[in-house]
Structure 1
Amino acid sequence: MTSVDQRIPGTRGEHSASACRASRHTRVQHLVTADEHSLGDLELLLTTLPFCATGRIFIEVPDAGWIAEVEAPPRMVVTWLDRSARSGAPGTGRSCAAGAALTRAVTAWADEMMCDEDDRTQVDLLGGFLGTADIADHLTERLGVAPERIRTPERFGIFADR
């Protein structure tokens, strides 16, 4: 049995199927992003989430051929973002650049869902550098999310100073 304290800051007690069913069980929402290059990392991350995890998973891919079933906790919603079916910046006539669909979708979702002062959403950004950096900036600068609640690939150095 895994203690919730190890995975979700601010919660207490043992994590088990019976604990998940309890009405007093604290659930922390999760926001997870990925792209076609980080699908393996996404699969690994999803195996570490508790069965009762809630939240949203956004996955940006080049085209619909990449869309497949994802083994996620049942209370998590998976949204696939097909770049080939999206446009670039309005008025440019360009196609959607890598990371753009992910950034637009995640920032819009976060603006709506992470607006409470006591929000404790745990964020895992696994997509490419540009989208990840834009999303991290939006979350920290516009929404005031503490950098400690956001995990990004170490190689990006986004929160290297924490």
Structure 2
Amino acid sequence: MPDKTNARLQYAELVRHFLAGRMTNHQYENRCDDLIDDGDDAVNQIYCELWKSYCDFREHRMGLRHGMTRDGRRLAARWIMFLRSGRPYEYPIYGCLPTLITIMTLGLVRKPDPLSLGDSDVWPYFRHSDFQCDLARPTLLNGRSGHMVADIG
């Protein structure tokens, strides 16, 4: 079982490569197994959020038909920055099952909203100040003014 810091860094790279179209959804899911099993709440919750953004019934790459919007890329870049930050995941944990139940009941049964406890605009960060602090000292740069990479590729 990998240590949590290493698992977060590995998962951050895996997300980046998957969203850039460098691997298929099936390759991504297969490589996630050990990282999800390590018990890190941040990895597990980001995995659940990302799972909602692609089709897992057939094999594909994120690309023209399955690509992310600009806002989606920014969100994913924030996930990656959080995973690389080493900050604790502070939201309550509900797992993927409540989301699945919400989908299966067509929204009649809704999962509790853990984001209402923190600043949901910067999830998975709990506080906007933590997000701003990490944004000011990014670990992945795009080469212009030290800003965080807005695009995954």
- The higher radius of gyration belongs to 1
Both structures adopt the same fold (TM-score exceeding 0.5)? no
Length-normalised TM-score, structure 2? 0.28
Higher relative contact order (CA 8 A, sep 6+): 2
**Structure (1 or 2) with the greater strand fraction:** 1
TM-score, normalising length from structure 1? 0.27
